[in-house]
């Protein structure tokens, strides 16, 4: 029924990576740089619009003879002003291209997509997917693409989400519970689903992904708007400064050519950050999209960069979620080899995650030749018996819950060996799950199952702590168990026996102290807390209620992704701050480069400020203009990659960036303009 669509390339395929390489993007980006010269497009970047207007003015002045300015110099100044605008446009187009490469592939997959919409009892009408509206019910069968974001109301099926997540392994989607949400443009690979559409055209996950990285549709974030206002203010200030220079020169009996004043204006206004601001924002959103996280707005990403407190669910985030074998304890008189082999054999027929973890734990520790399934009589684990095991070579091995194994052996609790009983009690008090192992009617020992903390998570929390971010573990466990896991994971605080009310209360308490709070969740009971948090990360495979309440959705359904989102948000904010500092610091050096050279003949006293000792006023103007254009090109890789955030507190990070980008912004023009001046003189261009 669905229109045939070729298999989608996931985000993680080499083909898609090739599409986002510089070699593949520079030609279309160069073409877009000229398209973006349209003043209507430059309205989004007021600083670069001023540069373009100035470039137009200097171009016209090339045709107006002026004895003080040679035509060759005027043409060079005009060309470099146009280059400045083009380089800024190129940076933006390059950033857009990197994100759009994936978005375009997703768009292609939905072209011509149809849906089987329910119009009555067991009656369906084939319509274009673009005609579906919120509340429509569609039937999707094996081999067909889900036509839009929705919630499963009937059926169970395996769904391939590679087109969205890049992962080819199908996931189960079913009605009810926390795994009912489905995403448009994903393929059902088995059975069928009845899906209730929850997003109108233009509001789906794919649409949001595309809008994040397409400059024409992307909404500016509050941080970008505030920075735009600052840049406009600085531009107006420098416009007034430049406008007053001619009266001062005339008063002293001199004259400054209009082309010089126009060039001076461009060199003094913050063109560097003005040209790269949009590229920084788009690249930041692109990094988020590459993480397979969709933001409802850029504001959520910026908020993530300012987060003070992270609320993380224990199960599946801090721990694996399934209890895993962490140790085996011998009963008195039993050797480790005998216990290990018995526990391994007793677990071979146990297909639960716990049983598999026991096999994984013991297999490297024993030299036993494992029998094939056909060689043994398997006793599979069941909820009724709470036992599993095998009968093999005349021997019987069993493993299971404490009471179940004791019942199998005909023993009471009091008949357990005292040392083993103490170990079993200790496991239970620590929040773990004890299992007993028996062989040939004899009690051999115990197995310690626990919810294992993910490797490396403690180090990640330590890194967040160094950035001034506190972590809070949220769990339904009792306080004793929660405290043990919290200590092992290295979190700063915990909420035990958590309820929706407790989560909401904690978030509000932190916000009342002026802190930004982030949280992740997937269930309907998480929706109030996700809506209350400043940054709410919902799992894509969770409930529709959670996805609607959150302002971020993780397509991979990996709760630890919240840590990466925080990193992206910080990089975005720090990159803007660093390049703004660099751009404004540039002006300090340009004052020393241009003003003394221009006014040396009018105000000889300014010669003391002529630190660069440039060749002439003409070369000073041209060198500053050339540097102004080239520095944008030089900073494009940094704008696209983002400034890496070190594991430092806010004060240390500020000092570091001021040293690098503040002091660097002052020194770079001194060196760059002097070198360019020498080259211009050497080749005879001035």
State phi, psi for 411 to the nearest 5 degrees: -110, 155
Cα distance between residue 65 and residue 142, in whole Å: 75
Measure the CA–CA gap between 327 and 347, rounded to whole angstroms: 14
Other CB atoms within a 10 A radius of the CB of residue 141 amount to: 15
Half-sphere exposure in the Cβ direction for 335 (13 Å, CA): 3
Please, what is the end-to-end C-alpha distance for the chain in angstroms? 71
**Which residues touch 262 (CB under 8 Å, ≥6 apart)?**
54, 57, 58, 61, 77, 81
What are the φ/ψ torsions at residue 12 (nearest 5 degrees)?
-105, 10
In 242-392, which ranges are E strands?
A: 293-295, 309-313, 319-330, 377-379, 387-392
Query: How many residues belong to the chain?
Result: 686
SS3 call for 311: strand
**Residues marked as catalytic:** 313
CA atoms of 538 and 379, how far apart (whole Å): 40
CA atoms within 13 A on the CB side of 265: 30
The residue whose two tokens read 């072209």 is: 111
Instruction: Write the DSSP string, 522-559.
Output: -SGGGHHHHHHSSEEEEETTS-HHHHHH-SEEETT--T
Cβ pair 321, 485 in contact under 8 A: no
Contact 471, 492 (CB under 8 A): yes
Q: How far apart are CA 533 and CA 549, in angstroms?
A: 10
Using alpha carbons, list the distances in angstroms from residue 172 to 294, 321, 324.
21, 18, 23
Please state, in angstroms and rounded to a whole number, the distance separating the CA atoms of residues 292 and 165. 6
Contacts of 356-363 with C-beta under 8 Å, sequence gap 24+, read: 357/322, 357/323, 357/324, 357/325, 357/449, 358/325, 358/399, 358/447, 360/325, 361/324, 361/325, 361/326, 361/328, 362/325, 362/328
Instruction: State how far the Cα of 235 lies from the Cα of 227, in Å rounded to an integer.
Output: 12
Please provide residue 324's backbone torsions phi and psi, each rounded to the nearest 5 degrees: -130, 155
> Rounded to an integer, what is the distance from CA 505 to the centroid of its chain?
27
């Amino acid at each position: 029924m669905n229109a045939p669509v070729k298999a989608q390339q996931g985000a993680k395929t080499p083909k898609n990576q090739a599409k986002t390489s510089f070699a593949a993007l520079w030609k279309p980006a160069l073409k877009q740089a000229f398209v973006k010269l349209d003043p209507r497009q430059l309205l989004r970047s007021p600083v670069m619009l001023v540069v373009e207007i100035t470039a137009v003015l200097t171009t016209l002045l090339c045709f107006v003879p002026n004895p003080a300015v040679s035509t060759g110099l005027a043409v060079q100044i005009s060309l470099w002003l146009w280059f400045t605008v083009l380089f800024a446009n190129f940076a933006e187009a390059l950033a857009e291209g990197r994100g759009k490469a994936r978005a375009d592939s997703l768009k292609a997959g939905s072209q011509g997509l149809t849906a089987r919409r329910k119009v009555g009892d067991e009656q369906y009408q084939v319509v274009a997917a673009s005609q579906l509206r919120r509340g429509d019910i569609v039937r999707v069968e094996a081999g067909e693409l889900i036509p839009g974001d929705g919630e499963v109301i009937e059926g169970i099926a395996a769904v391939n989400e590679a087109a969205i997540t890049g992962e080819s392994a199908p996931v189960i989607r079913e009605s009810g519970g926390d795994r009912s949400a489905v995403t448009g443009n994903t393929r059902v690979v088995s059975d069928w689903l009845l899906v209730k559409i929850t997003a109108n055209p233009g509001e789906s996950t794919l649409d949001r992904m595309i809008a994040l990285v397409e400059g024409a549709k992307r909404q500016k974030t509050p941080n970008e708007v505030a920075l735009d206002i600052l840049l406009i203010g600085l531009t107006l200030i420098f416009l007034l400064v430049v406008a007053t220079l001619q009266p001062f020169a005339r008063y002293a009996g001199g004259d400054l050519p209009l082309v010089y004043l126009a060039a001076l204006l461009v060199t003094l206004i913050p063109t560097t950050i003005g040209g790269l601001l949009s590229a920084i924002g788009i690249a930041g959103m692109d990094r988020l999209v590459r993480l397979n996280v969709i933001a409802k707005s850029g504001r959520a990403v910026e908020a993530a960069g300012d987060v003070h407190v992270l609320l993380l669910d224990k199960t599946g985030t801090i721990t694996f979620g399934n209890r895993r074998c962490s140790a085996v304890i011998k009963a008195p008189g039993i050797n480790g080899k005998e216990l290990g082999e018995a526990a391994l054999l007793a677990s071979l027929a146990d297909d639960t995650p716990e049983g598999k973890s026991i096999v994984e734990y013991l297999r490297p520790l024993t030299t036993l030749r494992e029998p094939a399934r056909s060689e043994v009589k398997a006793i599979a684990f069941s909820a009724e018996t709470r036992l599993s095991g095998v009968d093999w070579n005349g021997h019987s091995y069993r493993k299971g819950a404490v009471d179940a194994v004791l019942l199998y052996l005909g023993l009471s609790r009091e008949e357990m060996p005292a040392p083993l009983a103490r170990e079993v009690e200790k496991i239970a008090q620590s929040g773990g799950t004890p299992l007993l192992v028996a062989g040939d009617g004899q009690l051999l020992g115990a197995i310690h199952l626990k919810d294992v903390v993910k490797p490396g998570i403690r180090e990640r929390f330590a890194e967040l702590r160094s950035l001034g971010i506190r972590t809070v573990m949220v769990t339904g466990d009792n306080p004793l168990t929660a405290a043990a896991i919290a200590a092992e994971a290295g979190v700063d605080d915990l909420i035990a026996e958590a309820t929706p009310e407790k989560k909401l209360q904690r978030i509000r308490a932190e916000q009342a102290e002026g802190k930004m709070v982030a949280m992740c969740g997937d269930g309907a009971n998480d929706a109030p807390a996700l809506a209350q948090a400043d940054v709410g990360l919902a799992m894509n495979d969770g409930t529709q209620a959670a996805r609607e309440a959150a302002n971020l959705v993780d397509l991979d359904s990996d709760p630890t992704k919240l840590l990466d989102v925080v990193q992206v948000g910080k990089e975005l904010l720090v990159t803007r701050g660093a390049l703004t500092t660099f751009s404004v610091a540039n002006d300090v050096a340009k004052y020393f480069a241009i003003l003394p050279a221009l006014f040396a003949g009018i105000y000889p006293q300014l010669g003391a400020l002529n630190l660069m000792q440039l060749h002439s006023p003409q070369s000073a103007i041209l060198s500053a203009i050339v540097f102004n254009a080239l520095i944008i090109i030089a900073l494009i890789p940094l704008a696209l990659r983002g400034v890496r955030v070190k594991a430092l507190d806010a004060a240390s990070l500020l000092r570091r960036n001021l040293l690098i980008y503040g002091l660097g912004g002052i020194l770079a023009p001194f060196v760059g303009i002097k070198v360019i001046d020498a080259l211009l003189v050497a080749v005879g261009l001035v």
